[in-house]
Amino acid sequence: MGDRHEPTINHTCVSERLADELILVDELLRDRPRRHPPAYLRGRTMKAIRQEMAGTVESWEPLPPDVWMPALVFSLALVLALLLAPAPPVSLGAAAALEPTVANWPAVLRDWAESLATTLDSSIFLIGYSVAFAILAFWGLRMALTSWQPENTRTLGQVERDVAAAAERVLRGAKRAH
Amino acid sequence: MSDELASLVKRSRRGEMDAFGDLVAATESLVYNVAYSMLGNPQEAEDMTQEVYVRAWRGLDGFRADSRFTTWLYRIAVNTCLNRRRSLRSDLHVIDRDDALDGIELSRVVSGVDPDALVTRKDLAEALWDAVDALSPKYRTAIALFYQEGLSYDEIADLLSIPLGTVKSHLSRARRALASALHSRREQNHG
């Protein structure tokens, strides 16, 4: 009789033991403490949200000065360089042949530049022109470089990677077409 | 939703950052624990906690005042972490493994504890909690939401967008695997 019931008894023992283990696991899991987030996390989170807000506001505002100032200075330097250049880089005849509007510089500005050059001694005019151009160019470059952020480097890197990936896809497509 | 949380949510929706800061303080532990259980990595949990609150801030206008704020936050947390897990899987070619439940890995985790030290209930508990961290993410998540966050089967099913039966099966399989790991450890200890 004992032999006949032994498997059942063993099975019952195993089940009982498993039930005990499961009850213990259940109890221990209920006692499991919560993990505590690090103290700095809240500050970091709020900073990210403030940046998010700032980004949203910026999209409705004109470009910040650290972007438009270098652009303006560079444009100004370029315009001055073109207007005050002692010898025009392109002859008016050639320019007129290419595009009539290029030859028609604003008359007032051209007259002003010519009168300035004739009034002043040519050497003083050249020195003044060079100094003004150098100062404006230096100012523009300095502003552009000081406003460069680490994110710009990352963005630039991402753009480079995207361009490389696109070029690789194009090349692969061209090879396959061959 | 408690009156205090409701008031903070209301003020946050008006754009009051201080109120949202208090809301973060009140619920941060909840989000962090969910993120940790789903991703199993403190650094990832921190990043995702931050991401969850940025998303919550953006979507605050879409929160319906008649629902529980914590449930809404859980949903954002779970979705954000699921997305993160998918991207990690595709980056690192990591897959959810059911074999993490065959007891072998869990036994190894529990076996890593000095046998002589595994005598008190506290030692046993710590060994088991380490074993929970070795479970595969879906089981770990179910365990965390049920035991730590105190959510019901229905709530877990709703949050994870899985059938109720699957939640029960995940919890049952996880418990059995943990029980088996503990058992084999105790056998070793007694043997």
Last residue within a domain, chosen from B77, B92, B107: B92
Say if the Cβ atoms of B175 and A25 lie within 8 Å.
yes
Question: For position B102, what pLDDT does the model report?
Answer: 44
Say yes or no: B25 and B72 in one domain.
yes
Closest-CA distance, A56 to chain B, in angstroms, reads 10
B46 CB neighbours in chain A (<8 A) are: 37-38, 41, 44
Say if the Cβ atoms of B54 and A24 lie within 8 Å.
no
At B20-46, the pLDDT tens digits run 999 999 999 999 999 998 888 899 999
Question: For position A96, what pLDDT does the model report?
Answer: 56
Q: Please name the residues in contact with A62: beta carbons below 8 A apart, sequence gap of 6 or more.
A: A68
Task: Please give the residue range of the domain that contains residue B12.
Answer: 3-92
Say if the Cβ atoms of B148 and A46 lie within 8 Å.
no
Say yes or no: B71 and B56 in one domain.
yes
Domain count, chain B: 2
Say yes or no: B133 and B169 in one domain.
yes
At A100-149, the pLDDT tens digits run 555 566 666 677 767 776 776 666 777 777 788 888 888 888 887 777 77
Say yes or no: B75 and B123 in one domain.
no
Say yes or no: B80 and B115 in one domain.
no
Length of chain B: 191
> Hey, is the C-beta of B21 within 8 angstroms of any chain A C-beta?
yes
B57 CB neighbours in chain A (<8 A) are: 49, 52
In one-letter notation, the amino acid at residue B98 is: D
Residue of A nearest to B143 (CA): A29
Say if the Cβ atoms of B129 and A24 lie within 8 Å.
no
Cα separation of B145 and B137, whole Å? 12
> Hey, is the C-beta of B107 within 8 angstroms of any chain A C-beta?
no
Last residue within a domain, chosen from B65, B92, B119: B92
> How many percent of chain B have pLDDT more than 90?
37
B125 CB neighbours in chain A (<8 A) are: 28, 31-32
Residue A92 above 50 pLDDT? yes
Helix axes B121-133, A2-30, angle to 10 degrees: 80
| Residue of B107, B128, B145 to mutate for A, most A C-beta atoms under 10 A | B128
Cα separation of B66 and B10, whole Å? 12
Tell me if the pTM is above 0.80: no
Say yes or no: B87 and B165 in one domain.
no
Say if the Cβ atoms of B132 and A32 lie within 8 Å.
yes
Say if the Cβ atoms of A49 and B143 lie within 8 Å.
no
Across the range A3-15, mean pLDDT stands at: 72
Say yes or no: B50 and B106 in one domain.
no
Say yes or no: B140 and B154 in one domain.
yes
Secondary-structure percent of chain B, ordered helix, strand, coil, rounded to 5:
80, 0, 20
Q: Which CATH number does the domain housing residue B177 bear? A: 1.10.10.10
Question: For position A121, what pLDDT does the model report?
Answer: 66
**Sole residue written with tokens 């909840």:** B30
A42 CB neighbours in chain B (<8 A) are: 21, 24-25, 28
Say if the Cβ atoms of B33 and A31 lie within 8 Å.
no
Question: For position B1, what pLDDT does the model report?
Answer: 55
Residue A56 above 70 pLDDT? no
Assigned token pair, B133: 């961290």
B178 close to B172: Cβ distance less than 8 angstroms: no
Across the range B2-18, mean pLDDT stands at: 86
A46 CB neighbours in chain B (<8 A) are: 17, 20-21, 24
Residue among B24, B25, B178 minimizing CB distance to A25 = B178
At B77-87, the pLDDT tens digits run 999 998 898 88
Say yes or no: B115 and B43 in one domain.
no
Say yes or no: B80 and B102 in one domain.
no
Distances (CA, A) of B16 to A42, A49, A89, B60, B176: 16, 12, 59, 12, 48
> Hey, is the C-beta of B59 within 8 angstroms of any chain A C-beta?
no
Residue of B nearest to A41 (CA): B46
Say yes or no: B22 and B68 in one domain.
yes
Q: What is the dihedral sign for C-alpha A94, A99, A105, A107?
A: positive
Cα separation of B63 and B76, whole Å? 11
Q: Which CATH number does the domain housing residue B65 bear? A: 1.10.1740.10
Say if the Cβ atoms of A22 and B125 lie within 8 Å.
no
Give the number of beta-carbon pairs within 8 Å between A and B. Answer: 90
Cα separation of A11 and A17, whole Å? 10
Last residue within a domain, chosen from B92, B118, B148: B92
Label residue A166 by pLDDT band (50, 70, 90).
confident
- The complex's ipTM works out to 0.75
What values do phi and psi take at B123, rounded to 5? -65, -40
> Hey, is the C-beta of A22 within 8 angstroms of any chain B C-beta?
yes
Say yes or no: B77 and B132 in one domain.
no
